[in-house]
Amino acid sequence: MSRIGKKPIPVPSGVKIQVGAQLEVTGPKGKLSVPIPEGITIQQADGKLEIKRASDEHAALHGLTRALAANAVQGVSGGFTKELDIVGIGYRADVKGKLATFTLGYSHPIEVLLPDGVDLKIDKQTHLVLTGFDRQLLGQVAANIRALRKPDPYKNKGVRYTGEVLRKKVGKTGASAK
C-alpha cells in the first residue's frame, strides 16, 4: 500500500473542509479545491483527513491525491514561500503592486504581471521572496521568473533559486602552444 497515501493529514483549526465531487479547502489565506479521482474516497474524522482507495488499480492516484490535499491544507493555513537570487552586475528587480520589473542585461526591462494569490517582496534589489497559498501556482511563477535569465554555466550570472547548486564550466584557456 502507498506509504504516503495512508498517512493521515492533520487539519489545523481555522481550516474548513468540504468533501463532494471535489475537496474544497478554505482557510485564513484563501480557498483551494482538489479534484478527487474515481476510486478514491476522503473521510474526515477527529481533526484528520484520511484518503482511502477502492482497489489496487487506483494505487497511482492514492499518494497523488493525498499529497495534493496535504498541500492544499498547508497552503490555506500557513502558505508557501520560494526564494530567488539575481546574480550579475547591473541585474536587479523592482516591484510596484502586481507588476514586477526586471533589469537582466537585455536592451529593455522585462515586466511580469503577478497572478492573484502570489506576492513578491524584494530585498536589496537582488533577493526575491515569493509567497502564496497555491503551491503549484507559486512554483510556476518562480520557474517563469527564473526562465527570464537562466544561470549562465560559465559565469553563473542570472536568476537562480536560493541555495541552488550550479556547476560552473571551465572557459577557454589562452592561445594554444604549437
Q: Which CATH entry fits the domain spanning 80-161: 3.40.640.10, 3.90.930.12, 3.40.50.720, 1.10.375.10?
A: 3.90.930.12
Cell digits of residue 170: 571551465
SS3 67: helix
The predicted structure's pLDDT at residue 78: 87
Name residue 40's beta-bridge partners.
53
What Å distances lie between residue 40 and 2, 33, 157, CA to CA?
Answer: 13, 15, 46
- State mean pLDDT over 130-159: 90
pLDDT band at 126, cuts 50/70/90? confident
Confidence (pTM): 0.83
pLDDT band at 2, cuts 50/70/90? low
In the predicted structure, residue 34 carries a pLDDT above the cut 80: yes
Among candidate residues 48, 71, 64, the one with its CA nearest the CA of residue 139: 71
pLDDT digits (tens, 9 = 90+) for 41-66: 888 888 888 888 888 888 888 888 88
- b/e code 68-84 from CB counts within 10 Å (16+ = b): bbbbbbbbbbebbebbb
Provide CATH 3.90.930.12 ranges for the chain: 9-77, 80-161
In the predicted structure, residue 7 carries a pLDDT above the cut 80: yes
**Pairing label, strands 48-53, 9-10:** antiparallel
- The domain 9-77 having CATH identifier 3.90.930.12: the answer here is yes
